[in-house]
Amino acid sequence: GQQLNQSPQSMFIQEGEDVSMNCTSSSIFNTWLWYKQDPGEGPVLLIALYKAGELTSNGRLTAQFGITRKDSFLNISASIPSDVGIYFCAGTTNSGGSNYKLTFGKGTLLTVNP
Amino acid sequence: GAVVSQHPSRVICKSGTSVKIECRSLDFQATTMFWYRQFPKKSLMLMATSNEGSKATYEQGVEKDKFLINHASLTLSTLTVTSAHPEDSSFYICSAREDYGYTFGSGTRLTVV
């Protein structure tokens, strides 16, 4: 099945710094989604991307759908302590009946030091 | 925005008993819902796709007789963990597909003692 390679696995940064994480795949994806998960909670959607090359912002967050449709990145600017959590990329493909299944990356654990 | 309500948030049960987890789409109809399992510090692992009015589709390696899924209406899917064992202890999360993406429930922490 499809796999998403998400990096880095973890990041330790100072408050105010910018953060970047990305996901890559050997398969073409037609949707890229970025989620944040707090401990003991379900993932919450941050940004959804639907077209190759699309660049979308949500406050201090910016994400792009790679032009090859095989990658995406998420940037967080001017990090604050509440940005702490696990960030997941996820995507859907058109591969053989799996249209609606989400494939998840392994997550990036973000720690922000005040 | 779309809201998915999942209950209970936590449950402790004895080995051998069954536990039912509910997933409801509150303000939209969901013909397709998904059930995931998540181990500590790991990503979400898709267990099955729940389709309204038809049988669920299980991922490879997931026992369908162990994890019973019922999607009887457009707003409700249930996951029943039958004859639970301690190794079934985990965080279970549902999600529903709607027009602009996938909304997740807040998860259920199952502990089997």
Instruction: Specify the pLDDT at position B99.
Output: 73
Measure the CA angle with vertex B32, ends B30 and B35; round to 5°: 110
DSSP letter, residue A111: E
Q: Does A41 touch chain B (CB under 8 A)?
A: yes
Confidence of residue A94 (pLDDT cuts 50, 70, 90): low
- The CA dihedral of B60, B42, B100, B80, to the nearest 10 degrees, is 50
Residue B98 near residue A45 (C-beta atoms within 8 A): no
Question: Which residues in chain A are closer than 8 Å to B41, comparing Cβ atoms?
Answer: 109
Question: Which residue, chain included where needed, has tokens 């965080």?
Answer: B91
Q: What is the mean pLDDT of residues A4-9?
A: 96
State phi, psi for A10 to the nearest 5 degrees. Answer: -150, 155
Range list of β-strands (E), chain B: 4-7, 10-13, 19-25, 32-38, 44-51, 57-58, 67-73, 76-81, 90-98, 101-104, 108-112
Taking the Cβ of residue A85 and every Cβ of chain B, the question of whether any pair is shorter than 8 Å is answered with no
**Closest listed residue to residue A20, CA positions, set A72, A65, A85:** A72
- Please give the average per-residue pLDDT across A42-55, as a whole number: 94
Q: Per-residue pLDDT tens for A15-40?
A: 999 999 999 999 899 999 999 999 99
Checking if the pLDDT of A2 tops 70, the result is: no
Low-confidence stretches of chain B (pLDDT beneath 70): none
In chain A, residues with a C-beta closer than 8 Å to the C-beta of B42 are 106-107
Nearest to B77 by CA among B53, B59, B112: B53
- Using pLDDT thresholds of 50, 70 and 90, give the confidence band for residue A3: confident
Give pLDDT tens digits for A64-77: 999 999 999 999 99
